[in-house]
Amino acid sequence: MSIKGAPSGWLEDHFAEGTDNIDVGIVFVHGFTGSPAAMRPWADFMNSRGYTVSVPRLPGHGTQWEDLNRVQWQEWPERVQQEIDRLRERCTKIFVCGLSMGGGTTLNVAAKNNLAGIILVNPMIHIAGLPAQIAIKFAPLIALFRKVLAPIADDVKAQDVTEWGYDVLPTLGVVQLNHLLKATRSTLAQVQAPTLLFHSADDHVLPVSNTDIIMAEIGSAYKSRRELLNSYHVATLDNDAPEIFQLSLEHIKVWS
């Protein structure tokens, strides 16, 4: 996994005006160490159906891995909030779609905004397992002599596909990720937006406990979970992407 060789413009912020469904705006939020590239095909699909779309590059991402060791977790939801506010200037109904940590970030902003709906793909809400929790506890100390950890490799079942992200895991960035997840989980009951959640049955990055927690603790009256059988973690670029796109379109049509 590397950001080198990414398609032109796919590592940058992306915004495209809608043509038909101009009252609906959609924000797409990528994952930790990833980039907007993981969300561009999804956003392009929705834009081709007439919707206004925004794919922001989260602070610390898509540039150089050292930048991810310099951010504070609040910068991620703040960046998404900027795009929500931007879309509200032209759209009456806003949806937010998030992948992995982008799903956690989506839930964070959903607790504070009146959204028409949210769509989550293999969303992250906690760091599971005792070894990982111990590593998080001592990460600030580890960071003094080790700036990076083993990378989260491209977890994609389809051949020759990459999400164009960092090939290392910045240590201090992981500390901030944990802060984001803890703060977000404490507000899950405040999430009221109709929710569509996709979960890969074979995900090598996140355990299913993330999905279980979200489905149990969000306050949404409508919440639906769909299992993906032919994709790994980065499902937005994997074999089940067409299913994600089509069911997302139907979700947005229903709730807009």
For the segment 93-118, what is each residue's pLDDT rounded down to a tens digit?
Answer: 999 999 999 999 999 999 999 999 99
How wide is the angle at C-alpha 227 spanned by C-alphas 222 and 233, nearest 5°? 115
CA–CA separation, 99 vs 37, rounded Å? Answer: 12
pLDDT at 133: 61
Domain housing 108 = 14-255
Q: Is residue 5 part of a domain?
A: no
pLDDT beneath 50, residues of the chain: 130
d(CA 136, CA 71): 17
Domain membership of residue 1 (yes or no) is no
Cα distances (Å, whole numbers) of residue 160 to 37, 76, 165, 185, 242: 15, 29, 14, 35, 17
Residue 138 domain flag: yes
Rounded CA separation 52/92 (Å): 11
The predicted pLDDT at position 114 comes to 97
Q: Are 193 and 116 in contact (CB under 8 A)?
A: yes
Query: Is 9 a domain residue?
Result: no
* The pLDDT value given to residue 168: 86
Smallest Cα–Cα separation from 132: which of 178, 173, 100, 168? Answer: 178
Helix (H, G, I), strand (E, B) or coil at 227: strand
Number of domains in the chain: 1
Domain annotation covers residue 100? yes
Pairwise CA distance, residues 58 & 41, whole Å: 18
Identify the CATH number of the domain in which residue 150 sits. Answer: 3.40.50.1820
Residue 3 in any domain: the answer is no
Query: What end-to-end distance do the CA atoms of the chain give, in Å?
Result: 37
Contacts of residue 105, Cβ cutoff 8 Å, sequence gap at least 6: 29, 58, 76, 77, 80, 98, 180, 184
Tell me, yes or no, whether 76 lies in a domain. yes
How many angstroms separate the CA atoms of 42 and 151, rounded? 25
Give SS3 for 191.
Answer: coil
Q: Which residues are catalytic?
A: 100, 203, 233
Across the strands, what pairs with 53? Answer: 16, 26
**Pairing state of beta strands 52-55 and 14-16?**
antiparallel
Does residue 37 lie in a domain region?
A: yes
